[in-house]
Structure 1
Amino acid sequence: MVRKIQMGEGRAGVDAVRSGSAGRAETATAVRYLLQLLEERAPGKSVEVRVPPFGAVQVVQGPQHTRGTPPNVIETDAETWVALATGALGWDEAVASGAVSVSGTRADISPLIPLRP
């Protein structure tokens, strides 16, 4: 079982990333905390959100895959994920710029973000 990141620890990691002072450990904590919040907000297995090398979650109710690459995938880097999840960057802007790779008809999580104001 994966350890749940507590709010204080997660927020500290997010704040460190947003201020530009985060090391690898704080970045990993921030990414995993925000993925955890997304998973809590939209449980399911129809969309995979990947933030390599720090984490990935399956979210959103609907058809689920069981083998191979899922049909609905979102992938981005850590800084972009934190910006999206906190509302510092808009979904459409991130997708249009190529900062977020999106595949599949269900891979639009814009209604679910930001995760925290």
Structure 2
Amino acid sequence: GTPPAVVEMKTDTWLALAVGVLTWENAVSAKQINATGIGSDLTAYLPVFSPPRPLS
């Protein structure tokens, strides 16, 4: 059967989400993510990494 939560996106979308350049909300609104089922909203887990801070 179909898994209870499915999330599909392109690699560049995932990378932008992972580093915080793109938000989950904006990606879903722009139809860059196809997410269905309970638990498919990954907002609580993003960003995974923060971009490095410039040295002062």
Q: Normalising by the residue count of structure 2, what TM-score does the alignment of the two structures yield? A: 0.83
Bigger proportion of residues as strand? 1
**Structure 2: gaps of 5 or more residues:** 51-56
> Any runs of at least 4 consecutive aligned residues in structure 1 with deviations exceeding 4 A, and if so which?
none
Equivalences for residues 28-107 of structure 1 within 5 A: 68-107=1-40
- Quick one: percent identity of the two aligned structures? 38
Q: Across the two proteins, how many residue pairs are aligned to each other?
A: 50
Q: CA RMSD in A?
A: 0.8
TM-score for the superposition, normalised by structure 1: 0.41
Gaps of 5+ in 1: 1-67
1:109 counterpart (39, 42, 49): 42
| Greater relative contact order (Cα < 8 A, sep 6+) | 2
Higher helix share: 1
